[in-house]
Amino acid sequence: MFMVGKTQSRKSEHVKICLAKQVESDSPAGFDDVSFLHNALPELDSSKIDLSCTMFGKDLKMPFIINAMTGGYPGAEAINKRLAEAAQEFKIALGLGSQRAMLENPSLAKTYKVRSVAPDVVLVGNLGVAQLKKYAPKKIKEMLFTIEADALAIHLNSLQECMQPEGDVDFEGCLKLIATACDEIPLPVIVKETGAGITREVAKNLQNAGVMAVDVSGLGGTSWSAVESHRNSGFKNFKEWGVPTAHCIAEVSKSVTIPIIASGGVRSGLHVAKSIALGASFGGASLPFLKAACSPKPGDALRSLLKEWQRDLKTAMFLTGSKNIEALKTAKIIISGKTNESLRVRGVRPEEFAQR
C-alpha cells in the first residue's frame, strides 16, 4: 500500500473539477470567424470521400486525437481504457495524461497502460516541460517503453503553474531541455500548450529544436486557469489569458513545416475541418470525451460522439469538394471578425485563405 501523493491527489481533483464545474473559457476559440466557401457543385460521391491520414507512420481513419486527460490515480485506469477502446474502434490517436505521477510512483504505471485494448492506435505519452529538469532522458525513455508509446508529448503549462499554490514557475532553459529530449529519446516529440496557445515565434524555436509536431492548444476550450481557481481562489483574473486557437493555427501554419495539431475549443467535426483548412494536420479535444467516458454508458456515449464528429467532418469535405484530407487543406475559407483583425496585426493576410 502506498501513500497518496500530492501529484496523485491533484490529478484526481482536476478530473472532478472538470466534470462538475464550468471550466471552459468565455473567450471563443475563433472558429465562428472561419467560414467555408460553399461548393454548390462538388462533383464528388460522398461515399468515396477519404478521411484517412497518417501520424508518425501509422494509419488513422480520421485526422483526430483524443487529447491528454488523466492518469496517475486509481480512477484514471478505467477512464483511459474507455478512451483507448474508442480510439481503437475508430482508429484514431490517443494522448495520455501527464505521467509525472508514474515517475514519482511506478506502481501507478497501470493507470496509463492501455495497449491491451488499443493495440493499433497512435499512443502518445505525456510529461510536463518542468519535469525535464528532474528526470534524465533515460528515465523518460523507460517510462515511454513501459506503456508502449509511439510518441512523447511535452506539455507547456506556464499559466497553469502560475495558478497552482505548488506550481513550478522556473521555465529557464526549457528549450534546451526540449532539444536534448528530441536528440536522446528515440520517439517523435510533440510539444503542446495547455490552453493558452503557441505563436509562430515559439513554434519556430520548437521546430529548430527538433520537435516533430506542435499542438497549439489555444484559448477557447478548457481553461486551466479556471480549473486551478477552484483549488486556489486567490487567482481569478487569468481565465481568458491566451491566444485563440483559430489564430494560432493560421499564424503557425505560415511559419513552420512540421505538422500542427489543433486543440483548444475544438468541439465538433466541423471545427476539425476548419482547423485543417487553416493549416492543421489533425484536430484534438479532451473535455467532451472526458465527459462521455465518465457518463453512465461510456462506450455508447464515446461511440456516438465520434460518429457525429466523423459525419460532420465528412459533410464539410463534401460541401467543399474535398475528396481527401489533402484537398481539405486547400479548401477556400473566409476569415472574418476578431480573427481577421488579429492575424493582420501579426502580418498574416487572411484573404490568402479565400483566394488559394
Report pLDDT digits (tens) over 175-223: 999 999 999 999 999 999 999 999 999 999 999 999 999 999 999 987 7
The Cα angle at residue 259 between residues 187 and 50, in degrees rounded to 5: 105
Q: Is the pLDDT score of 348 beyond 50? A: yes
- pLDDT, mean over the chain: 93
* CATH number belonging to domain 25-355: 3.20.20.70
Q: What is the pLDDT of residue 296?
A: 97
Q: Are 312 and 268 in contact (CB under 8 A)?
A: yes
Cα(232)–Cα(240) distance, integer angstroms: 17
Q: Is the pLDDT score of 171 beyond 70? A: yes
Q: What is the pLDDT of residue 2?
A: 34
Percent of the chain surpassing pLDDT 70 = 96
Q: Is the pLDDT score of 7 beyond 80? A: no
Q: What is the pLDDT of residue 10?
A: 66
C-alpha count within 13 angstroms, C-beta hemisphere, residue 349: 5
- Read off the pLDDT band of 121 (50, 70, 90): very high
Q: How far is CA 209 from the centre of its chain?
A: 20
Q: What is the pLDDT of residue 17?
A: 79
- What is the residue extent of each domain of the chain? 25-355
| 301-334 residue pLDDT tens | 999 999 999 999 999 999 999 999 999 999 999 9
Q: Which amino acid is at 64?
A: F
